[in-house]
């Protein structure tokens, strides 16, 4: 069985648009996964208290047969391959990949929460998801 999953991409270090492009390419190569659509890229201010540059953000929709935790593990592997180093929470990063939605499932474990708990407070994610829904011909 495959489901639509929505993945948020973000970067605020280095060649931000290049990191997003590399992430999209890597996501499209995941096993049992097909990239369906990508939202527009938008620049946003960072969360958290530390001084850092603005983010480029984008959302992609995929059709995947990977289980939620397996998909998250693959996303973390992409982050590592593309140079992500986890230092401080809310810190600057080359690449951040978040599993925002996994079909209509609600999952709350130590390692994964979907829908992502940040979804209600991130207007840009809501705009990007609405754009994906329009691109895919689905009601939001």
Catalytic residue among 96, 123, 127, 134: 96
| Residue 93 is a catalytic residue | yes
Structure tokens at 23: 């992430």
DSSP secondary structure code for residue 121 in this structure: G
Q: Is 134 marked active-site?
A: no
For residues 62 and 3, the answer to whether their CB atoms sit within 8 Å is: no
The CA distances from residue 44 to 27, 41, 62, in Å, are 22, 10, 23
List 4, 93, 101, 122, catalytic entry: 93
Task: Give the residue from 9, 33, 37 showing the smallest Cα distance to 23.
Answer: 9
Active-site option among 4, 84, 101, 122: 84
Annotation says 96 is catalytic? yes
84 catalytic per annotation: yes
Instruction: From the candidates 4, 6, 98, 122, give the one annotated as an active-site residue.
Output: 98
- What are the catalytic residues? 84, 93, 96, 98
């Amino acid at each position: 069985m495959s489901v639509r999953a929505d993945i948020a991409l973000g970067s605020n270090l280095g060649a931000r648009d290049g990191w997003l492009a590399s992430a999209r390419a890597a996501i499209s190569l995941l096993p049992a996964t097909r990239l369906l659509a990508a939202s527009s890229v938008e620049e946003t201010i960072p969360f958290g208290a530390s001084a850092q540059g603005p983010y480029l953000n984008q959302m992609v929709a995929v059709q995947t047969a990977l289980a939620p935790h397996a998909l998250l593990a693959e996303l973390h592997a992409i982050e590592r391959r593309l140079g992500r180093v986890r230092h401080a929470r809310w810190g600057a990063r080359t690449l951040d990949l978040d599993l925002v939605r996994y079909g209509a499932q609600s999952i709350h474990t130590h390692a994964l929460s979907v829908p992502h708990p940040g979804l209600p407070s991130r207007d840009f994610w809501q705009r990007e998801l609405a754009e994906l829904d329009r691109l895919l011909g689905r009601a939001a």
